[in-house]
Amino acid sequence: MLEVAVRHRLGDFTLDAVFDAPQGLTVLFGRSGSGKTSVINAVAGLIRPDAGRVRVGDRVLGDTAQGIWLPPDRRGLGYIFQEGRLFPHLSVRQNLLYGRWFSRSSLPLDPVVEMLGLGGLLTRRPGALSGGEKQRVAIGRALLADPGLILADEPLAALDEARKAEILPYFERLRDEARCPILYVSHSAAEVARLATTVVVLQDGRVIRQGTASEVLSDPAVTPAGIRAVGAVLEARVAAHHEDGLTELDACGLSLFLPRVRQDIGAPLRVRIAAQEVILSRNRPEGLSALNILPGTVDSIREGDGPGAMVSLDTAAGRVLARITRRSAEALGLAPGVSCFAVVKTVAIAREDVGGA
Amino acid sequence: MLEVAVRHRLGDFTLDAVFDAPQGLTVLFGRSGSGKTSVINAVAGLIRPDAGRVRVGDRVLGDTAQGIWLPPDRRGLGYIFQEGRLFPHLSVRQNLLYGRWFSRSSLPLDPVVEMLGLGGLLTRRPGALSGGEKQRVAIGRALLADPGLILADEPLAALDEARKAEILPYFERLRDEARCPILYVSHSAAEVARLATTVVVLQDGRVIRQGTASEVLSDPAVTPAGIRAVGAVLEARVAAHHEDGLTELDACGLSLFLPRVRQDIGAPLRVRIAAQEVILSRNRPEGLSALNILPGTVDSIREGDGPGAMVSLDTAAGRVLARITRRSAEALGLAPGVSCFAVVKTVAIAREDVGGA
Amino acid sequence: RPVVAEPVTVFAAASLKTALDDVAAGYDGEVTLSYAGSSMLARQVQQGAPADVVFLANTDWMDVLEADGLIASGTRVDLLGNRLVLAGPAGAAPVEIGPQLDLGAMLGDGRLAMALVQAVPAGIYGKAALESLGLWAAVEHRVAQVDNVRAALALVSLGQVPLGVVYATDALADPHVDALGVFPQSSHPPIRYPVAAVAGREDAGAAFLAFLTGPEARTIFAAHGFAVLGD
Amino acid sequence: MEWLSPAEWEAVRLSLRVSFWATLVALPFGLFVAYALARWRFPGKQVVNGLVHLPLILPPVVTGYLLLLVFSPRAPVGGFLQSLGISFAFHWTGAALAAGIMGFPLMVRAMRLSIEAVDPKLEQAAATLGASRIWVFATVTLPMVLPGVLAGSILAFAKAMGEFGATITFVSNIPGQTQTLPSAIYAFLQVPGGEASALRLVLVAVVVAMLALLLSEWVSRRVAARVGGA
Amino acid sequence: MEWLSPAEWEAVRLSLRVSFWATLVALPFGLFVAYALARWRFPGKQVVNGLVHLPLILPPVVTGYLLLLVFSPRAPVGGFLQSLGISFAFHWTGAALAAGIMGFPLMVRAMRLSIEAVDPKLEQAAATLGASRIWVFATVTLPMVLPGVLAGSILAFAKAMGEFGATITFVSNIPGQTQTLPSAIYAFLQVPGGEASALRLVLVAVVVAMLALLLSEWVSRRVAARVGGA
Ligand SMILES: Nc1ncnc2c1ncn2[C@@H]1O[C@H](COP(=O)(O)OP(=O)(O)OP(=O)(O)O)[C@@H](O)[C@H]1O
Ligand SMILES: Nc1ncnc2c1ncn2[C@@H]1O[C@H](COP(=O)(O)OP(=O)(O)OP(=O)(O)O)[C@@H](O)[C@H]1O
Ligand SMILES: [Mg+2]
Ligand SMILES: [Mg+2]
């Protein structure tokens, strides 16, 4: 669906990134300076790489071998830049509508304005906006261009949690309605887990790992975002909505309880369970406030540099990761093949870790 | 120590913020557009408010009633702007050293360069840096000015987790060595809990709440950063460093185990325990991987809109908050006065939630 | 004289402006007067300017036009003449201009204002006069040359220089300046203002040319200090 | 007493007309050349740059003479244009041409400086939103360089109001046709006692140009206020 | 055959000297005025603005005449300067003064445009780091407006190379002292058959000015490359 191969030199830095992602939202993940923005700029046609090929679906946006390199305006983009880049001479409304001048369709303004909370700002100029407000206008401007490919470079970095929670579902919907592929840069494991169809991990300009969110985030060896980003992603279906506000999921026969989600019964869902939030117990625990208890078998124990150990547990619902202390691992006598129970709080699975699959 | 009172109109927006913070790091917390940057700009002297007074220790930086309003260059600042503002015509090294030209002292460059990972970039110009690299240079530039007051407007927003983990201790040290007061804007509850001496919550230009990090973040009624930010902050002392990489804390007689911290034995420490990571149990649980078990008595149960309930538990170590489902609360028969146990994983207390007190 | 003459366009040397404006006012027909430097006017005529009559301050350029066949044959008249004077501040003592004149002493450490001695007629005549009187060597390095004779007069008038070589007509009109002496006519080539009709346009220009040489015009020119030739 | 004679009024009107058209017609060319010099790389760029500056370097009389040589009815170019019914020599359009050419380097420099100051990142942003080059120019670059366009225009206009040497050499000094204010002033300065009349005209020129200047400053402030915002 | 006569060489040298000093001395004043016009509010700002533009609006001869009026020994200013032993009359310094004044509006406009384009947020950032106004100017504003300073200087220099009317009126045409290239060219154009000699000098003027232009473009590109980075 999205094929990217770029080789380009920038001073001492050499970008040499090749990946191929299916339909959906592809997250570029990597440390500061690893080349994420450079990849996006190449896809956008803002840099012409020394050699490269970019294809979205059947559309070849560029192929240096064939001497093709479409200019940005013919790529049908919605690019949310890392640094805003609003037009200072246009009002917020004019900024938002800018892309519409050039696209055939005309998405309605109001829903986007409402989602982004820009209602009172439409007549202002960007110079009179706060940092987060600017960022939100930039998001709206890209979305309203009705793009065939969205490029989002840390779109939510400057926003507060509450606002993030309002915008994330919009990206989810874009992804799920297969409206257009999305290439998304983020440093937040929660965002990645929730949004990513595919995660591409960059390091020093090279792709060092690529896979689904569950593969990449549950690989303790690849923890580009730090140890806290490690977690498993389980696939499940909505089984029931209970009256007390909980939703029960069916993860291959195992029940999982979550705070109510909006998906309908039967809908597929992905749930990220951070490794550090899983408690292990040799016996089925009783009388705990935690509602989710998954029986499984230890697959491997990987000890880190510190006091921790990463336990991979095979459950009926799939692989679950638990990060516990070595002391606990020893106390519980954990070893490959030993059966035990994973305990996960219902509310520890926060909303941003749950997304439609 | 830091006294701020500002009244200022910006278009439709009226800033009317008054607060008074003790020595240490004061976090300004609030949603996008609530006036955080405006407050900082007033403190920096970049805007001259309609009426206002700013005092740091004994130094009155401005008092419109007395007709005093020092220009920015006479305030001894280190301001990390929300949007970088590097000097495009100077190299990274020259940017970093800019403030030193004007301050009497001369902090050494190397430790800061190393902490910020700028070693290879010193001869570059800002135009050839990535977003995160720019942000790091901006941090370094402010710190190297050897300021008497640090103003940091979302300094870590564009950075990856690993880099954040390297920079946070530096701010902690600045705070603890009482080198200078710090006014800090952040949207991250973890950062707030770890760094804040005082938290000032802004909404629509007004201070709606002020207190210590533990007070503000453990108030379920004030959850400006979303429900996940709620948590209790416990004061403890380092009791022992164990060989298996764990540190044992003494929280008023209760033991808490953490991944090894660098503080010496006897040093005071603050630990944030996020409400959603606490599991409750009526009986002392056995055979769990979780090492921290705190006995206590239920003080109150506050039910939210959703399926959750916030349980306040009085323990010997202080107030602990647990966010559990209402279903669990009922199943466990929790009510004020009931005694129960709080279970917290060692590794769930991540490094960024632990800071010197 | 025709009752209503054809409209006529006259290209005239700028130094003629005051006099020619007065003359044209008495002409019974429409006259358009374009004043500029003689060299400019001549070049413009060479390039086909819509002039019917040219009236220059310089015989050289008229010779060029004539050689190029650009003026109607038989219409050229050297109509006016002028004199060179040594101008000084108003009230200064008159001097006799001749070889004995100690111009250097009169200048003191000041300079002698002239029009460009290689290029502008007044300067060319002035240099010739000083040379023939044997005075040039004494002042050669003390000359301040300007692009036209009026500017030279201005230098004297403003006291920027003690003396200048200018036309009598100019010195006459400036209250701050007196003509201290007149250069002998023999000391320089005669100063002539030739006028002619442009070839191919003599019909339009004939009437005005006739008027210019008539008694009414002569009186006016004389009143402005010109010598009217051909009397 | 009449303050200005009808012929002088005519010169004022003509100067305004000449300066206005000189500026207006030079504007698109100036903008194009400025953009090309600021943003494109092409062979002979320095030659174009040099040509643009030429009128500044040459004494105006030389420029006027060159114009006369090129555009006179007797010259090939001028003859060709005349056969098309276009005439510059000895016509007010020629005065405008001369004034426009003399002001051209000033106009181009100001515009070029402004264009160079526009952040290409904003133009890139417009391109990613689907704007083709020409639209990027019209909707982003041009609005942002308006202050420079205005500054360049006012310089060119002021220069046109004061232009003399090239104009009088090229189109002569024909009242009602090509006699602009500076030519009229010149003529007065060439005769004894003309200073007072010249001074009057100088004052008129100064007043007119100052009004234009004030207008441009006002427009410029409005534009800046629109862009500045905060 | 000598290509240029010694006197002509002298005129070339003098033109260069006059233009160089005119530009150099005008520079700090131009920068100051440009900064004041761009950034300050003060009463009479529009008057200053108008005065700066005056040499552009007035025919050069008038400017030269006004200079004469102001600096002649009879005028208060000229008299005062003379009592200090400073004289511009008939001296190359006077030519530089005239050339500088004629180029001043061009210089100021270019610099002003550049100063207005500097983002005040960067200046604020410098101030928060302890830089006083003057340091902010020296370390942030000035380096960032260098392209404008350069553009303004080259315009002024080019103008000075071509300036004729004001110069000859003010300091006349004294070989070796005040006979600049344009005066020499003008003189040739006044006499029949002088065109060839004039053309030679024009070529010299063009070559010299083009070299200066190329130099400025080169410096400007280096400055821009330093600032641009990416
Ligand atoms: N020049 C202005 N005119 C009108 N309103 C303004 C102006 N500048 C800022 N504002 C408004 O003032 C409010 C506070 O802005 P401020 O930049 O202080 O917000 P903030 O708390 O820093 O937000 P963020 O987290 O998004 O950076 C915002 O609502 C903004 O729209
Ligand atoms: N013009 C340039 N010259 C030299 N190096 C450059 C240039 N532009 C970018 N780089 C380097 O290329 C690398 C990749 O930059 P890029 O902007 O793609 O990083 P990024 O992954 O987006 O980082 P961040 O998360 O900090 O935004 C960085 O190390 C940067 O320093
Ligand atoms: Mg980036
Ligand atoms: Mg802000």
Domain boundaries along the sequence of chain E: 6-229
Phi, psi of B19 (to 5 degrees): -155, 170
Q: Are residues B213 and B126 in the same domain?
A: yes
Residue A38 Cα: closest atom of ligand 2: 18
Residue to substitute in A86, A133, A159 for testing ligand 1 pocket (most ligand atoms within 8 angstroms of CB): A133
The rounded Cα C187 to chain-centroid distance in angstroms is 17
Q: What is the mean pLDDT of residues A165-178?
A: 81
For residue D41, the one-letter residue type is: R
Cα diameter, chain D: 68
Q: Are residues B36 and B168 in the same domain?
A: yes
The residue to which tokens 């948590």 are assigned: B231
Task: Let me know if residue B259 belongs to a domain.
Answer: yes
Strand duo B268-274 + B231-241: pairing: antiparallel
pLDDT band for position A262 (50/70/90)? Answer: confident
Q: Are residues B273 and B198 in the same domain?
A: no
Nearest-CA residue for atom 16 of ligand 2: A35
User: What CATH number did the domain enclosing B283 receive?
Assistant: 2.40.50.100
Contacts of D126 in chain A (CB under 8 A): 87, 98
Q: Are residues B30 and B117 in the same domain?
A: yes
Distance A127 CA to ligand 1 centre (A): 10
Percentage of chain A exceeding pLDDT 90: 33
Q: What sign does the CA torsion over D87, D93, D98, D103 have?
A: negative
pLDDT at A348: 62
Measured between alpha carbons, how far is residue D8 from residues C24, D4, D179, E171 in Å? 17, 6, 9, 30
pLDDT (tens digit, 9 = 90+) per residue, B28-39? Answer: 988 889 999 999
pLDDT at A222: 56
Q: Is B228 helix (H, G, I), strand (E, B) or coil?
A: helix
- Range ranked top by mean pLDDT from A222-231, C105-114, E104-113: E104-113
Among the candidates A190, A220, A250, a domain finishes at A220
Measured between alpha carbons, how far is residue C110 from residues C165, E22, E126 in Å? 14, 25, 56
Contact D224 E116 (CB under 8 A): yes
Which residue(s) pair with B301 in the sheet? B311
Three-state SS string across chain E, please? CCCCCHHHHHHHHHHHHHHHHHHHHHHHHHHHHHHHHHHCCCCCHHHHHHHHHHHHHCCHHHHHHHHHHHHCCCCHHHHHHHHCCCCCCCCHHHHHHHHHHHHHHHHHHHHHHHHHHCCHHHHHHHHHCCCCHHHHHHHHHHHHHHHHHHHHHHHHHHHHHHCCHHHHHHHCECCCCCCCHHHHHHHHHHCCCCHHHHHHHHHHHHHHHHHHHHHHHHHHHHHHHHHHCC
Q: CA-CA distance, B194 to A100, in Å (whole number)? A: 45
pLDDT > 70? residue A353: no
Strand duo B206-212 + B198-203: pairing: antiparallel
Contacts of C120 in chain E (CB under 8 A): 190
Task: Let me know if residue A226 belongs to a domain.
Answer: no
Among the candidates B195, B220, B245, a domain finishes at B220
Q: Are residues B206 and B253 in the same domain?
A: no
pLDDT (tens digit, 9 = 90+) per residue, B322-335? Answer: 888 888 888 888 88
Q: CA-CA distance, E17 to E13, in Å (whole number)? A: 6
Q: What is the mean pLDDT of residues E109-126?
A: 92
Interface of D with A in 115-154 (CB under 8 A): 121-122, 124-133, 135-136, 139-140, 143-144
DSSP letters, C11-28, are EEEGGGHHHHHHHHHTSS
Q: CA-CA distance, B144 to B100, in Å (whole number)? A: 7
Decide: E188 and E58 in contact? Cβ < 8 Å: no
pLDDT (tens digit, 9 = 90+) per residue, A126-157? Answer: 988 999 999 999 999 999 998 989 999 999 88
User: What CATH number did the domain enclosing A205 receive?
Assistant: 3.40.50.300
Which of E89, E189, E194 comes nearest C160 by C-beta?
Answer: E89
pLDDT at D230: 36
Q: Is D2 helix (H, G, I), strand (E, B) or coil?
A: coil
DSSP state of A127: G
Average pLDDT for chain C? 88
CATH number for the domain formed by residue range(s) E6-229: 1.10.3720.10
Nearest-CA residue for atom 4 of ligand 1: B11
pLDDT at A220: 56
pLDDT at D1: 40
Contacts of D69 in chain C (CB under 8 A): 47
Contacts of B74 (CB under 8 A, 6+ apart): none
pLDDT > 60? residue A119: yes
Residue with the larger pLDDT of the pair A270 and B79: B79
pLDDT at B229: 58
Q: What is the mean pLDDT of residues A98-118?
A: 86
pLDDT > 70? residue E229: no
Task: Let me know if residue B225 belongs to a domain.
Answer: no
Q: Are residues B175 and B77 in the same domain?
A: yes
Average pLDDT for chain B? 84
Among the candidates B170, B195, B220, a domain finishes at B220
B223 closest CA partner among A221, A161, C191, A172: A161
pLDDT at A357: 52
Q: CA-CA distance, C89 to C25, in Å (whole number)? A: 33
Measured between alpha carbons, how far is residue B240 from residues A21, B249, B252, B261, B266 in Å? 49, 7, 14, 10, 8
Residue with the larger pLDDT of the pair A112 and B234: A112
Task: Let me know if residue A313 belongs to a domain.
Answer: yes
Q: Nearest C-alpha of chain A: how many angstroms from B157?
A: 6
Q: Is A334 helix (H, G, I), strand (E, B) or coil?
A: coil
Contacts of C8 (CB under 8 A, 6+ apart): C29, C30, C31, C32, C52, C53, C204, C205, C207, C208
Q: Are residues A178 and A235 in the same domain?
A: no
Q: What is the mean pLDDT of residues E40-45?
A: 90
pLDDT at B355: 58
Task: Let me know if residue A338 belongs to a domain.
Answer: yes
Strand duo B254-259 + B246-251: pairing: antiparallel
Strand duo A77-80 + A149-153: pairing: parallel
Task: Let me know if residue B324 belongs to a domain.
Answer: yes
Torsion of CA B82, B85, B91, B94, to 10 degrees: -90
pLDDT at B219: 62
**What are the per-10-residue average pLDDT scores of chain D (230 residues)?**
75 92 95 94 90 89 90 85 84 93 93 91 94 93 92 91 90 88 87 81 88 86 64
Which of C36, C169, C173 comes nearest D168 by C-beta?
Answer: C36
Q: Are residues A189 and A331 in the same domain?
A: no
Q: CA-CA distance, A233 to A193, in Å (whole number)? A: 7
Q: Are residues A214 and A347 in the same domain?
A: no
Decide: E186 and D83 in contact? Cβ < 8 Å: no
Average pLDDT for chain A? 84
Q: CA-CA distance, C214 to B41, in Å (whole number)? A: 86
Decide: E150 and E13 in contact? Cβ < 8 Å: no
Which structural domain range is residue B149 located in? 2-220
pLDDT at A63: 94
Q: Is C92 helix (H, G, I), strand (E, B) or coil?
A: coil
Distance B245 CA to ligand 2 centre (A): 36
Domain count, chain B: 2
Nearest-CA residue for atom 12 of ligand 2: A13
- Least confident residue range of A207-216, C116-125, C186-195: A207-216
pLDDT (tens digit, 9 = 90+) per residue, B101-116? Answer: 888 777 889 989 988 8
Decide: D230 and D38 in contact? Cβ < 8 Å: no
- Expressed in angstroms, the distance from the first to the final Cα of chain A is 18
- Expressed in angstroms, the distance from the first to the final Cα of chain D is 54
Q: What is the mean pLDDT of residues A161-188?
A: 83
pLDDT at A35: 93
Q: Which two tokens stand for residue A143?
A: 């979305």
Measured between alpha carbons, how far is residue E223 from residues A266, D35, D46, E212 in Å? 64, 19, 18, 16
Task: Let me know if residue B10 belongs to a domain.
Answer: yes
Which of A124, A128, A145 comes nearest D130 by C-beta?
Answer: A145
Task: Using a CB–CB cutoff of 8 Å, tell me whether C173 touches chain D.
Answer: yes
Residue with the larger pLDDT of the pair E142 and A235: E142
Q: Are residues B197 and B280 in the same domain?
A: no
Q: Are residues A94 and A20 in the same domain?
A: yes
The residue to which tokens 């339909």 are assigned: A23
Decide: E127 and B71 in contact? Cβ < 8 Å: yes
pLDDT at A250: 86
Task: Using a CB–CB cutoff of 8 Å, tell me whether C9 touches chain D.
Answer: yes
Complex prediction ipTM: 0.84
Q: Are residues B154 and B251 in the same domain?
A: no
pLDDT > 60? residue A87: yes
- H or E segment and range at residue B239: strand B231-241
pLDDT at D229: 43
Task: Let me know if residue A27 belongs to a domain.
Answer: yes
Percentage of chain E exceeding pLDDT 90: 38
Measured between alpha carbons, how far is residue D56 from residues D62, D108, E103 in Å? 11, 12, 10
Q: What is the mean pLDDT of residues B253-260?
A: 81
- Tell me the HSE value of A110 on the side-chain side, using a 13 A CA sphere: 0
Task: Give the burial class of E223: count Cβ atoms within 10 A of its Cβ; 0-12 exposed, 13-18 middle, 19 or more buried.
Answer: middle
Residue to substitute in B91, B118, B121, B130 for testing ligand 2 pocket (most ligand atoms within 8 angstroms of CB): B130
pTM value? 0.84
